[in-house]
Each structure stands twice: as structure tokens, then as C-alpha cells.
């Protein structure tokens, strides 16, 4: 019923004569006759709840038709069950269901002279090219993105589950890491924890020891973990389609050095100050500005920032992004050229960092320290809730956990 409600809400935002067309993805070939694990298009899933590839939904205020793969005994023996045309109307609360092969033919009967076509033009389904030349066509993106930006109770529950699973995996990593292990051994802990809970990765995990943490999107995850280095892990879970996105940085041997503590404390202070900015009515850019101010002050006091080495040498990404069905979820950050304000139901990551590569102008004790701390934050009526609060991030708590005393 939730998907039906979402379709009705979307239709209420556009013309009475609107005909909406949304497509899911096709399976993608990995190599030879092997495909990647299938994942439906996020907007299609949001509006239909249907998880099979090669499907198109067409709906208006008076009709909902679904086009999908027909039943095929041989293919189902080899590749698994299909819902099929006959069962689709009841299962998906549709008025009509057709084979995907009939899309071009049936679309002509669904469009009349007054129809305004709304098309999810981010779809990759090649079958949807039938409508590319149609007259009076508009994009769904502005309306659908705004809907997906504000999470309902079901979505928040799913995101909390996703956050809890990711936090549990990060906790395992902290308790099991030892010098001499390899990054991929720690990555395997996340594989197992997510799979054990019928979930998967929301994105390719970053498991970066030592200097690798200074590479923002390091994904090789294949080097040995050295005593005295830090380990940065950026890994999130996807469950029921919804993503979590968590980063923690901690000492491989269980104890921060003094230099590591100094940099970590600056990042943690920046993150806490940024999280405080996430509340209804607050401009979305204030969190980043606040984090930058905190990091600048801290690194200047340590003599790291100078005229020759400005902030962007050490902190070169934004402080957060929307989170939902996509790890970098849809939704505008500005409205009419002005930074928008936070509203209840929005979920944003908060992830400041400092990355100090080897540089003769910097004290060597800080070289190759890369630290990022990231949490997922829900905007509420009264302020915010950190969905990932169960995962430790204070220096003392991390050390106690890693040394068996928490």
C-alpha cells in the first residue's frame, strides 16, 4: 500500500492529465555469461516495490499498468522465478499487466492527445527509448527527488536497521583488527555481517591502513596493516534498499599516538559542531562551514595550516550528503539559488576529515595520518537523531573497546 500512496502523492503534484512512466534497470553483464547482482532502479522501487529487472510502470490518476517479463519455464528453471503477467495485478495493485515486449504497442493506447508525459529520464532501460521522441514530455526528477528527500516512518525504520547493521560490523572490525592482518581480512568482516543479515554493501567499502587513508576513495583494500598506523573504514549497509554510510578511524594496535590523538580530536570536534547545525530551519551549508572553521582553527594551532598550505590541502571534500535509497541520495541543496533549510524527515551524513600526506613543510609525526568520522543524521521536529549513535567514536571509548574493557 505504501507504494500506491507514493504514486498518488506524486500524481497530486503534477497535471491532472499526466501520464507517468518509470523504468527499472536491466541485468548488467559482468563477463561471459555472468551478470552482476541485480539491483532495481531506486525511483522505480520507491514507486512500485517491484524487484525484477526489465520492467516499466505507467500510471495516471485513473490507471496503473505494469510491463514486466513474462513467465518462462526454461528460464525460470535456470535463473529463478518470475512474477509473470497473470499474477502481477494482484501482487502489485495494478489495473493491468502486460509483457514487456508489448510496451510500444500498449503505450499508444495509454496516451491520448491531452496527455502530459512524465518520464524518469535517469532510467537506463533501453526499452524506454520508445518515448524519447514523444511530444509534451517532462522530467519527473524535481517532483520525485523532493518526495524521496523526506523520509516516511517506514523508510526511517529501514534506515535505522541499516545503520545498526553497519555499526555492528564496524564494531567487529575494531575488536578483531591486529597488526599484520590485511585490509581485505577486515573487509571480509563486513561481507559476512551484511550477508548474515540478508543485506549487502551500500557501496564499495574503503578499508585503508596508514597512508592509504589519505586517498579519499581508496578501494584496493589489499595491503598489510602496520603497527602504529591508523585504519580508516568507510563502509555502509544496504537493507530493503536503504543505505547507511559510516566512517570510523582507529589505531591498528589499539592505542592512539599523541599526534594521532591531536588530529582525531580536531575532526571529532568538527563533526560534533557540524551535527549541531542539523535542525529544522537551519541552512544546509552551515554544517560544512562550521566544520571548516573548526578544522582550520585546530590545524593552525598545530602549525600545519599556513599561507603555503591552506585548508584545502588537508580537507578537500564536503561535510555531508543526502542519504536514502541511494548512498548519495537525490534532492537539491539549493532552492531558487539559495541554500535550502533542513526539514524533518531529511537524512544527511556528517563526515569531516583531515588528510595529511608526506610534506617537508609539516612535522613528520603527522605524515600519512588520514582521519574521517562519519555518522548518519535524521532531522526531527525538535532537532536531530544520530542513527549511527551505537558505534563508538570517542578516543577513550575506542581504546577501551579495542582492548577489551568496554
Picking from 270, 264, 209, 269, the residue whose alpha carbon sits closest to that of residue 234 is 209
User: Has 46 been annotated as catalytic?
Assistant: no
Task: Answer whether 256's CB lies under 8 Å from 395's CB.
Answer: yes
Question: Rounded CA gap, 35 and 223, in Å?
Answer: 28
Out of 52, 54, 234, 313, pick the active-site residue.
234
Catalytic residue among 248, 321, 329, 366: 321
| Annotated active-site residue in 217, 301, 363, 397 | 217
Name the catalytic one among 155, 164, 351, 375. Answer: 351
Q: Is 321 one of the annotated active-site residues of the chain?
A: yes
Tell me, yes or no, if 363 is annotated catalytic.
no
Known catalytic membership, residue 372:
yes
Is 351 designated active site?
A: yes
Question: Which of these, 380, 386, 387, lies nearest to 344 by C-alpha position?
Answer: 380
**Is 328 marked active-site?**
yes
Active site residue 245: yes
| 114 tagged catalytic | no
Identified catalytic residue from 30, 196, 328, 339: 328
Tell me which of 82, 372, 375, 376 is the catalytic residue: 372
Q: Which residues are catalytic?
A: 33, 217, 234, 245, 317, 321, 328, 351, 355, 372, 374
Amino acid at each position: 500500500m505504501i507504494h500506491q500512496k507514493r504514486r498518488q502523492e506524486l500524481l497530486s503534484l503534477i497535471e491532472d492529465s499526466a501520464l507517468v512512466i518509470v523504468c527499472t534497470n536491466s541485468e548488467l553483464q559482468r563477463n561471459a555469461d555472468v551478470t552482476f547482482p541485480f539491483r532495481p532502479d531506486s525511483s522505480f522501487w520507491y514507486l512500485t516495490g517491484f524487484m525484477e529487472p526489465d520492467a516499466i510502470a505507467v500510471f495516471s490518476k485513473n490507471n496503473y499498468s505494469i510491463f514486466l517479463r513474462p513467465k518462462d519455464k526454461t528460464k525460470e528453471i535456470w535463473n529463478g522465478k518470475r512474477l509473470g503477467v497473470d499474477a502481477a495485478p494482484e501482487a502489485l495493485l495494478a489495473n493491468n499487466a502486460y509483457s514487456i515486449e508489448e510496451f510500444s504497442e500498449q503505450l499508444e493506447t495509454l496516451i491520448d492527445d491531452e496527455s502530459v508525459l512524465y518520464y524518469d529520464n535517469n532510467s537506463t532501460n533501453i526499452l524506454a527509448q520508445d518515448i524519447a521522441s514523444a511530444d509534451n514530455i517532462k522530467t519527473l526528477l524535481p517532483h520525485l527527488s523532493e518526495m524521496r528527500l523526506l523520509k516516511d516512518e517506514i523508510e526511517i525504520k529501514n534506515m535505522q536497521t541499516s545503520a545498526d547493521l553497519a555499526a555492528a560490523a564496524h564494531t567487529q572490525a575494531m575488536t578483531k583488527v591486529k597488526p599484520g592482518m590485511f585490509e581485505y581480512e577486515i573487509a571480509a568482516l563486513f561481507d559476512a555481517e551484511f550477508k548474515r543479515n540478508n543485506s549487502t554493501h551500500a557501496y564499495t567499502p574503503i578499508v585503508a591502513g596508514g597512508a592509504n587513508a589519505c586517498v579519499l576513495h581508496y578501494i584496493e583494500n589489499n595491503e598489510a596493516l602496520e603497527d602504529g598506523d591508523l585504519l580508516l573504514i568507510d563502509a555502509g549497509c544496504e537493507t530493503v534498499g536503504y543505505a547507511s554510510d559510516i566512517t570510523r578511524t582507529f589505531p591498528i594496535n589499539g592505542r592512539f599516538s599523541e599526534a594521532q590523538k591531536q588530529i582525531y580530536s580536531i575532526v571529532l570536534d568538527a563533526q560534533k559542531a557540524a551535527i549541531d547545525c542539523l535542525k529544522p530551519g537551519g541552512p544546509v551549508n552551515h554544517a560544512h562551514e562550521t566544520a571548516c572553521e573548526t578544522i582550520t582553527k585546530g590545524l593552525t594551532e598545530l602549525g600545519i595550516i599556513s599561507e603555503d598550505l591552506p585548508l584545502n590541502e588537508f580537507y578537500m571534500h564536503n561535510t555531508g550528503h543526502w542519504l536514502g535509497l541511494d548512498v548519495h541520495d537525490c534532492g537539491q541543496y539549493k532552492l531558487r539559488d539559495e541554500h535550502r533549510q533542513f526539514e524533518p524527515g531529511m537524512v544527511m551524513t556528517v563526515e569531516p576529515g583531515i588528510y595529511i600526506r608526506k610534506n617537508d613543510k609539516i612535522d613528520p609525526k603527522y605524515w600519512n595520518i588520514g582521519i574521517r568520522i562519519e555518522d548518519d543524521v535524521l532531522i526531527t521536529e525538535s532537532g536531530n537523531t544520530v542513527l549511527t549513535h551505537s558505534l563508538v567514536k570517542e578516543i577513550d571509548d575506542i581504546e577501551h573497546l579495542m582492548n577489551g574493557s568496554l
